Amino acid sequence: MREINIHPILQFSHGKELKFTFDGKTMKAYEGETVAMALYRSGIDIFSESPKLHRPRGMFCAIGKCSSCMMRVNGIPNVRTCILPVREEMVVEKHEGFGKLPDYIEKFAEPFEINKEVAIIGSGPAGLSAAITFKEFGIKALIIEENPQLGGQLIKQTHKFFGSEKEKAGTRGFEIARDLIKNIENSSIDYITNSTAFAIDENKIGVFRNNQYMKIYTKYLLIATGAAEKMIPFPGNDIPGVFGAGAAQTLMNVFGIKPGRSVLMIGAGNVGLIVSYQLLQAGIEVKAVVEAMPTIGGYFVHAAKLRRFGVPILTSTTIKEVRGNLRVEKAITISIDKKFKEIPGTEIEWNVDTVCLSTGLIPSVNLLAQAGCKLKYVTSLGGFVPVRNKDFQTTNKNIFVAGDVTGIEEASTAILEGHIAALAILEKMGLKTKKLKIESIKNLNNLRGSPFSKKIIEGLKEVECE
């Protein structure tokens, strides 16, 4: 029902068929699929209910950054099913009201301990790039990734990257991810997936994996946790069928599942424009793209593709309300003036079953805050970001950062940042990497040479220290 059967770029294949139960009903899944994806593929929209008003809730981010897909799995409550792989005979139950505690609690085992000179939290473009750099200098870093597979957001990017050939220009995001992952898997680099880093205490990292606690001791830590999609307030924003644009990408480009039949996209930055085009490629109708600003925020080339398909892009327009009972049924947009005030009488009603939000990303700085790293709010970088020097060293001298956690930019930028941060750590370890590091910093500055990077550069001046 929701399968993507034909795609101009991607080919989808299924693993071994598995069986599990959802609220007592037998469901089908495929090996390698997460619980949330298997349920959504089967037509299940509602994953939980709000505690007091019992409003239906569905998936939103699909990368484990929110609570929308939490369910009870094998008796354990509040499990993020969007990043939990299906297992044979798994028992999944929808949360209703306040839910219930487990029937019993097993005795906690002593944490499993690992010692590593370098650990990397996050396996997106920054984390993978750093791990490969460490490998090239004979250092085996440990990658800690909470999702089922390596690659971060790169694995779902089907568009071709801009920039220089050296920085992967002309290559599709998922192809870049495939090459990076292949490099990792064919080497001696250690990595653990489905592993959530939840605490940092001096040289220790607390990790939860397969219902077991791990304690990882490390001398140097690189945090490359990326970013989360931003939710905006409007009536009906919790109705199933309201997705982050990245969740739509995960459904389509990773698992071959259609998010819906007819979509309204909120936000005309690069992500909103790119995902809208990818929706069209998957055979999904895009009714319109609406943008609150008076001009389109993304590149002209992305907007031009949509216009060739007849998709209207409405500027100075915002989402007013989403309506629906168990699923999105209608969306109401309204024009706004120069002061962002609604203009009465300009409402448009859209008959859609899906609304995608592309209204910005927020750097995932939770672990950095917990570790005591100094943060600063910079609007142009996406929110709170770590204060650091040009080596990406934070105010906690043994913690380095790279990628979108340092500020929202392109994947090509994240790859270079991961490389630079790794070279800086290697330099602190006594290896001669300074010359290569300086050259890489120069390449990063050149990559930020477009007019679109002007605000980014100004923002970086606020958080870079000596």
| pLDDT tens-digit series, residues 55-83 | 999 999 999 999 899 999 998 889 999 99
Residue 313 neighbours by CB under 8 Å, 6+ apart: 268, 288, 289, 290, 291, 296, 303, 306, 307
The answer, yes or no, to whether residue 10 has pLDDT greater than 80, is yes
Sign of CA pseudo-dihedral 380, 381, 382, 384: negative
- Structure tokens that stand for 308 in this block: 């060739």
427 CA to centre of own chain:
30
With contact defined as beta carbons under 8 Å apart, do 397 and 391 qualify?
A: no
3-state secondary structure of 424: helix
With residue 446 as reference, give the H or E element that holds it: helix 434-447
Strand partners, 192: 144
The DSSP call for residue 380 is: G
- Structure tokens that stand for 398 in this block: 């043994």
Portion of the chain with pLDDT greater than 70, in percent: 98
Per-residue pLDDT of 374-404, as tens digits, reads 999 999 999 999 999 999 999 999 999 999 9
- Please tell me the distance from the alpha carbon of residue 95 to that of residue 18, in angstroms, as a whole number: 23
From residue 338, alpha-carbon distances to 217, 293, 296, 347 in Å are 53, 9, 15, 17
- Please tell me the distance from the alpha carbon of residue 104 to that of residue 444, in angstroms, as a whole number: 53
Pairing of strands 142-144, 190-192: parallel
The DSSP call for residue 8 is: S
With contact defined as beta carbons under 8 Å apart, do 207 and 122 qualify?
A: no
Per-residue pLDDT of 225-282, as tens digits, reads 999 999 999 999 999 999 999 999 999 999 999 999 999 999 999 999 999 999 999 9
3-state secondary structure of 125: helix
Comparing CA positions, the residue from 282, 292, 335, 284 lying closest to residue 311 is: 284
Q: Judge whether 112-228+362-463 and 242-361 match in fold.
A: yes
Residue 394, judged by CB atoms within 10 A of its CB (0-12, 13-18, 19+), counts as buried
Indicate the fold that domain 242-361 takes in CATH: FAD/NAD(P)-binding domain (3.50.50)
pTM reported for the whole predicted model: 0.94
With contact defined as beta carbons under 8 Å apart, do 391 and 437 qualify?
A: yes
pLDDT at residue 165, as a whole number:
60
pLDDT at residue 105, as a whole number:
72
pLDDT at residue 164, as a whole number:
56
- For tokens 């139960």, name the residue: 21
The answer, yes or no, to whether residue 19 has pLDDT greater than 90, is yes
Q: How confident is the model at residue 107 (pLDDT cuts 50, 70, 90)?
A: confident
Give the residue extent of every domain in the chain: 17-93, 112-228+362-463, 242-361
- Structure tokens that stand for 256 in this block: 């071959």
CB-based burial, 372-381: b 16+ in 10 Å, e otherwise: ebebeebeeb
> In the β-sheet with 330-335, what is the strand arrangement from edge to edge?
317-323, 330-335, 348-350
From residue 171, alpha-carbon distances to 1, 313, 410 in Å are 32, 27, 14
- For tokens 């709170």, name the residue: 384
Per-residue pLDDT of 399-450, as tens digits, reads 999 999 999 999 999 999 999 999 999 999 999 999 999 999 999 999 998 8
Pairing of strands 262-266, 354-357: parallel
**CATH class of the region 17-93:** alpha beta
- Please tell me the distance from the alpha carbon of residue 401 to that of residue 225, in angstroms, as a whole number: 9
Indicate the fold that domain 112-228+362-463 takes in CATH: FAD/NAD(P)-binding domain (3.50.50)
Mean pLDDT of the chain, nearest integer: 94
Comparing CA positions, the residue from 156, 123, 125, 182 lying closest to residue 412 is: 125
Instruction: Identify each DSSP E strand in 245-312 by its residue range.
Output: 262-266, 285-290
Amino acid at 379: T
- Structure tokens that stand for 164 in this block: 């220089």
- For tokens 């001791």, name the residue: 217
